[in-house]
Amino acid sequence: MSEGKFADLNFSLQEGDGEEAVSRNREILAASFGLSVGQFFVANQVHGDEILVIDNDSLDIAGDRSCDFDAIISDRPGLAIGISTADCVPVLMADRKKGVIGVVHAGWKGTSLKIAAKAVNTFVRRFSSSTMDIIAVIGPAIGRCCYQVDGVVFEAMREDANREYFFSRCDEKGKWMLDLPLANRLQIQDAGVPSGNISLSGICTSCRRDIFFSHRRERSGTGRQLSFIMLK
C-alpha cells in the first residue's frame, strides 16, 4: 500500500507514487469487490469534455490508459468504469431500464464545458435513454467552504444561467467561493434529469482530511481516490 502523503489507497501514478504501491492498491480494491484488476477501465483525464462510449461492439480496452477522456459511458456488463479525483467532482450515472452506466470527472474546466449535461445527452442519443430514468450520484468533492477561485474561473462560467446559485463573493477582492458539486447538479437537472433522481454526498474532500485526498488542501502532490460503477 501507499505511504506518506499517498497513504493509504492512492489510485494514481500522476503525482509520483511508486508503481508497485499503486498496483497493489488496485489489487486490494479489486479483490474487495470480488473483481480482477483487468475488469477496471480508468481513462486518462485531461480536464476536457470528451466522452468515451464503450458498448458490446467496442474492442477489448480494459486496462488501457492511453485514452484521453473525462467521461465514460458503457452498457458492457462486467466492466468497471471509473475516474480518479482529489477535489474534482465525481459523478456516477445509471439507467437501469436500458442497462447503461456512466462516470464523469468534472473539475472547474469540465464544469464550465458542461460535461455532466453532455453525458446525460449521450445517454439519450446513443442508448435511447429517457432522462426520467437516469439516476445520478455526485460524490465527495471540494465544497464551497474551501474552494476559493479567481476571475479566470468566474469568467469561464459567467454565461451559466445558474451562476448566482453556485458562486458567492468572498472578502478578498476578485475572488469567489465556488460550489462545484451544486453547479454539476444544476447542469444535470437542466439536461432533463429530475431533481429527485440526483443524490449529492455533501462531503467536502478538503475538510475531511481523515478519509480523502485533496489537492487544494495539500497544495502539492497528493493521491487520488477512485469512484467507479459496473454493470453485473
Count CA atoms within 13 Å of residue 133 on its CB side.
13
Instruction: Please determine, for residue 18, whether its predicted confidence score (pLDDT) is greater than 80.
Output: no
Rounded to a whole number of angstroms, the CA Rg of the chain reads 17
- For residues 167 and 178, is the Cβ–Cβ distance under 8 A? yes
On average, the pLDDT of the chain sits at 90
* Domains detected in the chain: 4-142+181-230 (3.60.140.10)
Average pLDDT over residues 123-150: 98
Instruction: Please determine, for residue 63, whether its predicted confidence score (pLDDT) is greater than 50.
Output: no
Instruction: Please determine, for residue 45, whether its predicted confidence score (pLDDT) is greater than 60.
Output: yes
Name the grid cell of 28.
Answer: 486490494
Q: What is the 3-state secondary structure (H, E, C) of 147-162?
A: CEECHHHHHHCCCCCC
User: Three-class SS of residue 211?
Assistant: coil
Peptide bond into 171 cis (omega under 30): no
